[in-house]
Copies of this chain bind each other. A is one copy, B any other.
Amino acid sequence: MPTIKDVAAKAGVSTATVSRVINGEKVREETKEKVIKTIKLLGYRPNQIARSLKTQKTHTIGFVVPDYGQFFMQIAKVVEDILNGYGYSLVVCYSDENPDREKARIRMLTEKQVDGMLVVPTSDEDNYIMELNKRGIPVILIDRMVKDIQTDCVLVDNVNGAYQAVEHLITKGYQRIGVINGRQEVTTGEERYRGYLRVFEDYNLPIDRDIIRFGDFSTESGYTLMKELMSLQNPPEAVFIANCYMTIGAMLAIKEMDIKVPEDVAIVGFDDTELTRLSDPPLTAVVQPVREIGEMAANLLYKRICGDMSDYPKMYRLKATLVVRASTDPGWKADIIEKKGA
Contacts and interface: CB of A to CB of B under 8 A. Distances in A.
Contacts of A89: 91, 93, 108, 112
A252 B280 contact: no
A248 B274 contact: yes
Given A60-B112, A68-B73, A278 B248 contact: yes
Interface in A91-147: 91-94, 108, 111-113
Contacts of A339: 220
Given A251-B278, A274-B248, A277-B252, A80 B94 contact: yes
Which of under 10, 10 to 19, 20 to 34, or 35 or more describes the interface residues of A? 35 or more
A72 to B, nearest CB: 9
A340 interface: yes
B334 A255 contact: yes
Contacts of A251: 278
B68 A111 contact: no
A90 interface: yes
A45 interface: yes
Contact of A113 (B48, B77, B220): B48
Nearest to A335: B256
A321 interface: no
A223 interface: yes
A52 interface: yes
A337 interface: yes
A47 B340 CA distance: 43
Interface of A: 45-50, 52-53, 58, 60, 67-70, 73-74, 76-77, 80, 89-94, 108, 111-113, 219-220, 223, 248-249, 251-253, 255-256, 274-275, 277-282, 334, 337, 339-340, 342
19 contacts: A48-B111, A49-B49, A60-B112, A67-B342, A68-B68, A68-B73, A80-B93, A90-B93, A91-B92, A220-B339, A248-B274, A251-B278, A253-B337, A255-B277, A256-B337, A275-B279, A278-B279, A278-B280, A279-B279
